[in-house]
Amino acid sequence: MNIAVKEQEAVQTNSIKVKVSNLDLFYGSFQALKGINMDVKENEVTALIGPSGCGKSTFLKCINRMNDLIVGCRVEGDILIDGTDIYKDGVDIAYLRKEVGMVFQKPNPFELSIFDNIAYGPRTHGLRDKKKLSVIVERSLRHAALWDEVKDRLHQSALGLSGGQQQRLCIARVLAVEPSVVLMDEPTSALDPISTGKIEELIAELKNDYTIIIVTHNMQQAARVSDRTAFFLLGDMIEMGETRQIFQLPRDKRTEDYITGRFG
């Protein structure tokens, strides 16, 4: 009882999950991110908005170090997750990426069965027990609101699913490795409005258990799903605040111009 109350309090005070300080990112000599500071709170949805090429996806990929794959990409500054600097020497990248899951713009299920897609991550991290894997698969698919649609064809190809189902499968695949942060890079830009609606409902559901950071081009989406919004422009973070405040009373003229559709 006591613990439950404490957990509730923790959620309400929303401690800082991801703390970004003075983050610079360079592609060769081009500076793509300039001195970003951001606090991402636990169990909230944080939306990153801004015109194409403003650095919001690049920023997102810093949080699970997917930028490491890009030759000539250099990161300076700190990103702390639960107080640990993820760019410190000796950080285990595989573990970091297990903790910080990522959903991509284009659904990317593997050429495997639905079951094997979900079980891929846990297996990768050494789980072989078939019973436990089944538990994870069912739990993850239920959590991603896909279970009822696929429970009778778990051993059929994941590529036979519709685009929206594939994206929920990819979300389930991320949840299967038990992350605490989920990054979403324009997760609905390749989907139809109905599938988009389902994913948005899902995001609202997921924030009870996860910290979510979502990049979106769709401002209504940011307004609908997020608690906080950050506006990026040309590698700078112009302004960040509660979503309602950003959309109703932006402090910066550039934010207002973007939100009202004057550019972008």
Partner 1 sequence: MNQERFLTKEKVLANRARQKRSQNTAFTLMYVAAAFAVIILLLIIGYIFTNGFKEISWEFLSSDIEDAGREGGIFPVIINTLYLVGLGLLFAAPISVLAAIYMTEYAKQGVLIKIIRFFTANLAGIPSIIFGLFGFMFFGKMLGWSWSLLSGSATIAVVIMPTLIRTSEEAIMTVPSGYKEGSLALGATKWQTMIKVVIPAASPGIINGLILGMGRIFGETAALYFTLGSGTGIANSLMDSARSLALHLYTLVREGISVGKAYATATVLIIIVLILNLIASAFGRRINRYKENI
Name the minimum Å distance from CB 93 to partner 1.
8
Positions touching partner 1 (CB under 8 A) are 64, 66, 69, 93-98, 101-102, 104, 106, 108-113, 120-121, 124-125, 156-160, 170, 173-174, 177
Name the minimum Å distance from CB 167 to partner 1.
12
- Beta pairing partners, 241: 229
Name the minimum Å distance from CB 115 to partner 1.
11
Strand 73-81 versus strand 84-85 pairing type: antiparallel
Do 192 and 164 meet the contact criterion of CB atoms below 8 Å apart? yes
Name the minimum Å distance from CB 105 to partner 1.
9
Decide whether 45 or 170 has the Cβ nearer to partner 1. Answer: 170
Decide whether 11 or 93 has the Cβ nearer to partner 1. Answer: 93
Do 61 and 55 meet the contact criterion of CB atoms below 8 Å apart? no
- In one-letter notation, the amino acid at residue 110 is F
* DSSP letters for 64-87: TTGGGGSTTEEEEEEEEETTEETT
Decide whether 109 or 164 has the Cβ nearer to partner 1. Answer: 109
The Cα 173–Cα 18 span in angstroms is 22
- In one-letter notation, the amino acid at residue 199 is I
Decide whether 20 or 119 has the Cβ nearer to partner 1. Answer: 119
Name the minimum Å distance from CB 102 to partner 1.
4
Tokens 């909230």 belong to which residue? Answer: 44
Decide whether 203 or 223 has the Cβ nearer to partner 1. Answer: 203
Name the minimum Å distance from CB 258 to partner 1.
28
Decide whether 173 or 228 has the Cβ nearer to partner 1. Answer: 173
Of residues 62, 85, 73, the one with CA closest to residue 232: 62
Instruction: List the Cα angle 103/86/81 in 5-degree steps.
Output: 70
Number of H helices, E strands in the chain: 11, 10
Name the minimum Å distance from CB 59 to partner 1.
16
Decide whether 81 or 246 has the Cβ nearer to partner 1. Answer: 81
Of residues 62, 76, 68, the one with CA closest to residue 34: 76
Do 183 and 137 meet the contact criterion of CB atoms below 8 Å apart? no
